[in-house]
């Protein structure tokens, strides 16, 4: 990951560390991801780009040991606070880059990441690293935005305005190909939507000066058109929208 992009991520998510966890949509789907992987007390879990620890803490209630890793110190501070509030003792946190994991081969039985791939310059490299540190017979899970090809460019433009650390939301075809060509076995897929209220999302975001109004205009003008792929609409007097998320899970073959 380039130094400049690294810095953009840290800058954005230092500011987002607290408001990110307060958006109701970011608590969605935790049960779905647990159901897809079915962690047990025998599992050692690595949660990459763990942010404020929402997913890691959910998995820690079922798994034996969970390691959360993130690039942003402020996010790890929030994760440790969440762990303490929930009384979880089987969690550790580590600062690190998802594209060069500081772990030996075959270290974890379950390697997961949520909402990180659209920030990466090379998601294929990160997936390869996830597979490398996964034990034979273990599982790898990625959950992230995935859009029809004809919607991706417009969505990318919107998200880059909202969050300058955004790179590219994979299309559904790109996401499928990434997993199908990864060498993982028994690949399966699920999907869900993250429901967001525009003004709440803007309050939790830190776009460049002047871009907030452009974002508001783009989303509002897309109501009833859906060029952005997020089904913007009015609900109870507010503008709300749905971000489509794909989940891919695969198993690593025996050594």
Q: Where are the domains of the chain?
A: 3-148+166-193+245-251
**CATH number of the domain located at residue range(s) 3-148+166-193+245-251 in this protein:** 3.40.50.150
CB atoms within 10 A of CB 54: 21
Determine the number of helices (DSSP H) and then strands (DSSP E) in the chain: 9, 8
SS3 233: strand
Q: Percent of the chain at pLDDT above 90?
A: 86
pTM comes to 0.94
Determine the Cα–Cα distance for residues 59 and 62; give it in Å rounded to an integer: 6
H or E segment and range at residue 66: strand 65-70
User: What are 131-157's pLDDT values in tens digits?
Assistant: 999 999 999 999 999 999 999 999 999
Instruction: Please give the backbone phi and psi of residue 27, each rounded to the nearest 5 degrees, phi first.
Output: -95, -10
The structure tokens 């303490």 sit at: 84
The gap between the terminal CA atoms of the chain, to the nearest Å, is 29
């Amino acid at each position: 990951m380039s130094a400049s992009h690294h810095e953009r991520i840290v800058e954005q998510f230092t500011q987002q560390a607290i408001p990110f966890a307060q958006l109701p949509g970011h608590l969605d789907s935790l049960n779905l991801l647990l159901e897809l992987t079915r962690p047990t007390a025998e599992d050692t879990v690595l949660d990459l780009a763990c942010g404020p620890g929402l997913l890691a803490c959910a998995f820690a209630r079922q798994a034996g040991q969970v390691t959360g890793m993130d690039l942003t110190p402020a996010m790890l501070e929030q994760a440790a606070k969440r762990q303490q509030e929930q009384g979880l003792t089987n969690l550790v946190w580590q600062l690190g880059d998802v594209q060069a994991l500081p772990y030996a081969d075959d270290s974890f039985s379950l390697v997961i990441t949520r909402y990180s791939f659209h920030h990466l310059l090379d998601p294929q490299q990160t997936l390869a690293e996830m597979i490398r540190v996964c034990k034979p017979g273990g599982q790898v899970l990625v959950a992230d935005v995935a859009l029809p090809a004809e919607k991706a460019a417009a969505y990318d433009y919107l998200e880059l305005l909202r969050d300058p650390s955004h790179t590219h939301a994979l299309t559904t075809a790109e996401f499928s190909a990434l997993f199908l060509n990864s060498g993982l076995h028994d690949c399966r897929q699920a999907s869900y939507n993250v429901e967001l209220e525009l003004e709440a999302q803007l309050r939790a975001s830190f776009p460049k000066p002047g871009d907030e109004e452009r974002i508001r205009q783009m989303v509002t003008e897309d109501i009833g058109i859906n060029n952005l792929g997020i089904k913007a609409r009015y609900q109870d007097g507010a503008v709300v929208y749905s971000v489509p998320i794909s989940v891919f899970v695969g198993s690593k073959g025996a050594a």
